[in-house]
Amino acid sequence: MKTAIQAELPNELVAEARAFVEQGWVGDFDELLAEALRRYLESHSTRLAESFIQADVAWGLRGRE
């Protein structure tokens, strides 16, 4: 299952991405965007989990208010 999205991107970023596709580093533009999004989400999931843990610890230290 796939979902189509529409996004506005800086021209320079699009040009660089298209160059990667043209040079054969990735199959197509959609594949490149999906991989970039996947890597972004993976790299930021740790930060999100840490922020939840910190909030829980802070709540625990304050007691039941």
Which among 42, 22, 21 is positioned nearest to 31, based on CA atoms?
21
Q: Is residue 13 packed enough to be buried (19+ CB in 10 Å), middle (13-18) or exposed (0-12)? A: exposed
Contact (CB, 8 A) for 9 and 15 = no
For residues 42 and 56, give the distance between their C-alpha atoms in angstroms, rounded to a whole number: 22
pTM over 0.75: no
pLDDT of 11-65, one tens digit each?
A: 999 999 999 999 999 999 999 999 999 998 888 777 777 777 887 788 887 865 5
